[in-house]
Every structure is written in structure tokens, then in C-alpha cells.
Amino acid sequence: MPDKVLIYSRLPKSLTQRFSADFDLLDTAGKPANEVFAAEELAQVRALITAGGTPLRAADMERLPALGAIICYGTGYDGVDLKAAAARNIVVGNSPGANASSVADVALMLLLATMRRLPIIDPYVRSGDWVAAKPSPLMKPPSGLSGRKVGVYGMGEIGRKIAARLAAFETDIGYFSRTRYDDLPYRYLPSLDALAEWCSVLMIAVRASAETHHAVDADLLKALGADGYVVNISRGSVIDQAALVAALTDHTIAGAGLDVFEIEPHAPDELTRLPNVVLTPHIGGNTRESHVAMQGCVVANLKAFFAGERLPFPVK
Amino acid sequence: MPDKVLIYSRLPKSLTQRFSADFDLLDTAGKPANEVFAAEELAQVRALITAGGTPLRAADMERLPALGAIICYGTGYDGVDLKAAAARNIVVGNSPGANASSVADVALMLLLATMRRLPIIDPYVRSGDWVAAKPSPLMKPPSGLSGRKVGVYGMGEIGRKIAARLAAFETDIGYFSRTRYDDLPYRYLPSLDALAEWCSVLMIAVRASAETHHAVDADLLKALGADGYVVNISRGSVIDQAALVAALTDHTIAGAGLDVFEIEPHAPDELTRLPNVVLTPHIGGNTRESHVAMQGCVVANLKAFFAGERLPFPVK
């Protein structure tokens, strides 16, 4: 009989289908597990699959007395209480780097589309305003990317891929992360403040944590300057969203490209009505190739766990 | 007395202002010169500034009997009858490479935004459909860019910058141009047909000419395949636009990103109502930095001409 695996987060069937070949899936469809399944059934669950951002605290784990493995679909694991898991000897795995290329691509798309004002100019063409020779929304040309100082906050797999892409756009790249990497050809800044002082474009690729919560605040945005841009593809919690809305509204900075938000799915009206933002619904890792890679990590982690082996992709 | 210079194309005042410091500008505002200025005034014009795509034929030159220099604002000079100019010993200059980084950035923006379906997903967030948990337009994930075979058609300054950027996106790059460059690390394909057979993404960076007119036709688009994309930042004439509309409508290819069109400004309804395109109003070179660089080339060309010297930036 196949092992039971709980689908803990709301994940589309199309993404979990592959797991049903090897496991007996109990799909919560994103609802609390104890509302969907009987306690006796949950008592048999030894492993679960979660989107890393979904809250999974000690109390949630207690409802799953046999739980031995938490397998995150994707790179993130910020919703998982790692201490609580460790206290119960629950192993935690993720899909490191599996979606990094896909996420880095979206980071560059957001930056370019924000700087070149795509959400305004594509409709200018589609509406017929261009044909009618109505005044262009780009009568005052925007500044370009080449020659810019670009700061990357966080230098994990995704940060590295963002930096590698940016380098090809003739930019000067600096970064701040807890670790300084001597193998990287980029300038290291000793703090996030120093990075923001140095650059005019900030790419956020840092992991969500208590340490990075609201790290990008009003002062930091101000340091980017009136021709500054910020792009976030990591987690919404890293930016003080209210401060960002204010900075975009009073033109403290020029624009923002956001794939993630403080609460998801929720992009507040203050943000969605701004013309100087590009907004995407957390689709960084949403390509066929990256789903296949992430699913591969999930399957490998689950098979190893049920075989009594170490996870091939553990959260360290 | 400053030398008279005719502004032959429709160019915003903000872009031509810099020239008025050194020259006496006669601005046609895009109208036929003989409708705006008296024949006696035009008879004194020895130099003009034109957008390279604006038609400037033998008959147009005849209305300017003293014309000695045609200075193109930008890289293109496809509207200028070079033979007619040569026959009258009129020198032709342009701004080679001055806008190449800016145009290459837009090429990448168009590719990423088309593949990741930005014109659909930004409105999905803004409209509140995401918050309301309405079905995502990306329920079926698109394929990504990494690992793709990407073909670059034309390997001038812009083609090279597009290829350099694409390489950082972990793609396999091939190109076709009249010249094979041994200094480039990309695969050379011996024809445009061979390039289209080999790749699934085609980036058009070739100069407009009789030779390249409608070079990208129905057969060529078909060769890219159902997961194929085409991006055009050069000139609209290179694509058979009716064939492109058909290929996008019946999903012969997956999508297109277009900054240029067969007739400008004119994006036909058949194109603007498609969901699988990203459309921009010929803004490739439209950044502050690239305008400054292009204006620098124009000024240098004009000063050299009036000083009786060779143009520093001649069309070869």
C-alpha cells in the first residue's frame, strides 16, 4: 500500500498529480487539515508537502502525531517552524535552486518592465492612442539600465543568477548578504544600508526571516534616490509595504516591480492603482521546467524518507 | 550666423533642443518640407536631420538643391535612398551603436514579458482577480527561457548586445547574418531558414533592406514551432505582419514581442487584440542616456560637415 502524504498547502492538482503515482495523497486544498480529514487518518500521516511560505507551526505539527518529514515544494521554508520540527525530530526538505533560473528571469522582467514602463506603453499601443498620435506616456524618456549601480540583497542560488543576468546588461553589481563570497566578481557592501547608499536599483533575493522582516523600509528606499527602483521576487515580508507605497506615491523612488506581497494573495488598492509598478502574482518559479525540477526534488526527498534514508535535499 | 539645419522627420522638441545651440533649425514637424518652408529657404539648407526610417527619396532631395549631408538620428537609415544621395555627393551619417544597449534591453524585456505573459498577469493582480482567487491565467505554466535554443538574426551592435544578454539567461545561442564572425562564441547557421529550424526563439536584429523585407514569413514562423517566440526590435518590414497575425491566432507559434510594425504608428486591431503579444511603440532607443549619445553623434556629424571635414559617424 502506498505511503500516505498530506498536501498541506493549496497546490493546484496539475502540480501534485505526479506525486500520486508513488503516494496516497490527502489533499487539504489549503484548508486546515483537521477540518478536512479525521484525526485517525491524520494520525497515519508520516510526511507532508507544503509550499514553504504556508504557516506550519508547532500546534499544526501536533495534529500530526506520526509526522516525520516536512517537504517544501520550492526553495522557501519560511513558514515552517524549524525549531519545533527539530524538537520532534521531523526532517525538513526543500527544492534548492530548482526554480532559481525561472525566478531570476522574472526579476529581470520586472526590472526592465518597470524601468521602461511597460504597463503604460503596451496599453498605449493596444488602445489606439499611438495610432491616433496622442501624446506618448514616454515623451520624457526614462533612464536606462546600462551603467547603473545595481545592488543584490541576498546571494543564494537566486541572487547569483540575478547577478549573472544583470552583469550582461552592462551594470556595476554590488551585493550584501550575511556571507561574503570571495569567488564572486561583485563588490561586497558590509550592510544593507551601505548597499542602498551605493546603488540606485535594489534587487531583493534574500530569504524571509525575523532578521530580514521589513529590512527594506522608508529610510532604505530613500537612499535609492528619485531615480531608484526596487524589485522583489523573494518574500513580501522583506519590504515594509506601506513605506513602499508611500515612496512610490510621492516619487521618493521611481518605481517597483513586485512578484511577492506582504499578504498573499493580496495586493492592496494603494499599490494596484499606481502607474509606476509592475505586479505579478507570485509566478517567479512558475515555469514547466522549474515545476518538473521542484517535483523531482519533492519525490526524491519523500522516497528517501520512506526508505529510512537521509533527505537528498534537506533544509540546513 | 549659425548654419541652417532642416529637421526632416517628426522629432519631439525635447530631443532637438540641444541642436539649436549650434544650428538654426527649420522644423518641419514631420510635414513635407515644401509645405512648411518657402523654396528660397529650403534652397539654403545644406544639412538635415532625419529619423532613419522616414522615406527620403531622390525626389525629396531634389527639393533641397544645396543639400550636402543627411544625418540620421539613431542607428537606422533604411528610409534614405543611399544611391540617390551618393549620386548627388550627399554624405549620410548615423549614430551607430549609440542606442544599442537601450534597444537590446527592450528586446529582452519583450521576450521575458511575452513568455511569462505579463500583459495578462499584471492586470490579473490589479483587477483584484488574484485576491478573489479567480482562476489564474497561468494555471498551465509557460515554458521557461533557460536551456532554450535562441536564434539572433543580424549580428550588428544591437544583435551582439542581445546575444550577450541572452547568454546570461542560460540559453544556447545561434545566429545568422551575412557575415560570420569568428570572434563570437555563438553557433553560426548558414541561412535564416536553418536558424529557424534550429531555434525556438527568434530575435530579429537585422537591418531593414530589400533583402530582409518579409524575410520572416509564414514558413519561417512555422519552423519555430508551437512553443516558439519571435521578438522584433529592428524594423517592422522584416516580418510579414499578416503572416505573423495568422501564426499567433492559430497558435502556430506561442507569442511575439514587437517594438516595431510594418507601418508606424499603426498596430492593426488583429494584432492589438491578441493576448499572446507584448506591444511597445518603437521605444527601443528611448532612454535618456541613448538620446544623449545619439544627439552627440548628430552634433559631431553636423559640425564636421560644416567644417568641411569627414563625418565621424558615416553610413558605410
State how far the Cα of A103 lies from the Cα of A105, in Å rounded to an integer: 5
Return the CATH number of the domain spanning residue range B4-98+288-306.
Answer: 3.40.50.720
**Of residues A161, A163, A169, the one with CA closest to residue A99:** A161
Q: Please determine whether the domains at A4-98+288-306 and A100-279 fall in the same fold group of CATH.
A: yes
pLDDT, average across residues A161-175: 98
Tell me, what's the pLDDT at B172? 98
Tell me, what's the pLDDT at A136? 87
Active-site hit among A117, A160, A282, A291: A282
Distance from CA of A309 to the nearest CA of B (A): 32
Give B 253-282 residues with CB within 8 A of chain A.
Answer: 265-267, 272-273, 278-281
State how far the Cα of A289 lies from the Cα of A75, in Å rounded to an integer: 15
Q: What is the DSSP string of chain B?
A: -PPEEEE-S---HHHHGGGGGTSEEEE-TTS-HHHHS-HHHHTT--EEEEETTS-B-HHHHHT-TT--EEEEESS--TTB-HHHHHHTT-EEE--TTTTHHHHHHHHHHHHHHHHTTHHHHHHHHHTTTTTTTPPPTTSSPPP-STT-EEEEE--SHHHHHHHHHHHTTT-EEEEE-SS--TTS-SEE-SSHHHHHHH-SEEEE-PPPSTTTTT-B-HHHHHHH-TT-EEEE-S-GGGB-HHHHHHHHHTTSSSEEEES--SBTTB--HHHHT-TTEEE--S-TT-SHHHHHHHHHHHHHHHHHHHTTPPPSSB--
Q: Are B118 and B94 in contact (CB under 8 A)?
A: no
pLDDT, average across residues A253-282: 95
The answer to whether B289 contacts A101, with C-beta atoms less than 8 Å apart, is no
Tell me, what's the pLDDT at A316? 84
| DSSP annotation of A56 | B
Which of B14, B118, B147 is closest, CB to CB, to A118?
B118
Domain ranges of chain B: 4-98+288-306, 100-279
Tell me, what's the pLDDT at B70? 98
Report the residue of B280, B282, B288, B294 to disrupt the A interface, i.e. the one with the largest count of A CBs within 10 Å: B280
> Counting one residue from A and one from B, how many pairs have CB atoms under 8 Å apart?
167
- Tens-digit pLDDT profile for chain B (316 aa)? 899 999 999 998 989 999 999 999 999 999 999 999 999 999 999 999 999 899 999 999 999 999 999 999 999 999 999 999 999 999 999 998 899 999 999 999 999 999 999 999 999 999 999 999 898 888 889 999 999 999 999 999 999 999 999 999 999 999 999 999 999 999 999 999 999 999 999 999 999 999 999 999 999 999 999 999 999 999 999 999 999 999 999 999 999 999 999 998 888 899 999 999 999 999 999 999 999 999 999 999 999 999 999 999 999 8
Return the CATH number of the domain spanning residue range B100-279.
Answer: 3.40.50.720
User: Which residues in chain B have their CB less than 8 angstroms from residue A273's CB?
Assistant: 126
Tell me, what's the pLDDT at B136? 87
CA atoms within 13 A of residue B190's CA, in its CB half-sphere: 0
pLDDT exceeds 90 at position A94: yes
Tell me, what's the pLDDT at A133? 86
Which of A105, A145, A267 is closest, CB to CB, to B145?
A105
The answer to whether A126 contacts B12, with C-beta atoms less than 8 Å apart, is no
The answer to whether A267 contacts B125, with C-beta atoms less than 8 Å apart, is yes
Task: Assess B118–A contact: CB distance below 8 Å, yes or no.
Answer: yes
pLDDT exceeds 90 at position A168: yes
Angle at A290 between CA A288 and CA A292, to 5 degrees: 70
Active-site hit among A148, A160, A207, A235: A235
Instruction: Respond yes or no: is residue A235 known to be catalytic.
Output: yes
pLDDT exceeds 90 at position A266: no
Confidence band of A139 (pLDDT split at 50, 70, 90) = confident
pLDDT, average across residues A99-119: 97
Task: Assess B109–A contact: CB distance below 8 Å, yes or no.
Answer: yes
Residue with the larger pLDDT of the pair A217 and B139:
A217
What's this model's pTM, rounded to 2 decimal places? 0.94
Instruction: Respond yes or no: is residue A165 known to be catalytic.
Output: no
Which of A122, A145, A266 is closest, CB to CB, to B280?
A122
pLDDT exceeds 90 at position A217: yes
